[in-house]
Structure 1
Amino acid sequence: MLRASQILVRTIALAASTAALWGCGQRGPLYLPGTPEARQRATLPETLSPSQNNPAPAPTSSASATR
């Protein structure tokens, strides 16, 4: 049988895990932003090591080039 301290620790761990999962993320469905402003933002590797900043050219679509 479980001791009272084990039950207490497991209950606190479960409550902390539930609170962490409940409080993270954004509301609504997940999506990949496709706006031109979003393409200009830094990626995660660029933010972690800005000294190795080698930006790739932004892809251009034919629809935006003809406007």
Structure 2
Amino acid sequence: MLKARQILVRTIALSVSAAALAGCGQRGPLYLPTDPAAAQRATLPETLNPATPRPPAAPASSPASSPTP
């Protein structure tokens, strides 16, 4: 027979697991934002170490097309 402590630990673990699975992530496909406002957002390394200088933003360019023979 299970002891009260084991039941409590299992119930808490199940509850935490269910909450983590229910609240994880964004719905829908993942994508990299390409709008101009996204260029001004901080990247992960900039967020972790704000003292590092930020490189200049690259100009937006159209997708490269394959050369025609």
| Fold-level similarity (TM above 0.5) | yes
Superposed displacement of residue 18, structure 1? 1.2
Q: Can you give the 5+ residue segments of structure 1 that lack an aligned partner in the other structure? A: none
List, as ranges, runs of 4+ consecutive aligned residues in structure 1 with deviation greater than 4 Å.
Answer: none
Determine the structure 1 residue equivalent to 2:66: none
Taking only the aligned residue pairs, the percentage that are identical comes to: 70
- 1:49 partner letter: N
Between Structure 1 and Structure 2, the one with more helix by share is 1
Using the alignment, how far apart are the partners of 2:6 and 2:56 within structure 1?
53
Normalised by the size of structure 1, how large is the TM-score?
0.65
Determine the structure 2 residue equivalent to 1:52: 52
Superposed displacement of residue 9, structure 1? 0.6
Change in 2 beyond 3 A, CA 1:62/1:28: closer
Using the alignment, how far apart are the partners of 1:62 and 1:26 within structure 2?
27
- 1:61 partner letter: S
Q: Can you give the 5+ residue segments of structure 2 that lack an aligned partner in the other structure? A: 64-69
Determine the structure 2 residue equivalent to 1:33: 33
Higher RCO (CA 8 Å, separation ≥ 6 residues)? 1
Superposed displacement of residue 3, structure 1? 2.5
Q: What is the alpha-carbon root mean square deviation over aligned residues?
A: 2.4
Superposed displacement of residue 62, structure 1? 4.5
Normalised by the size of structure 2, how large is the TM-score?
0.63
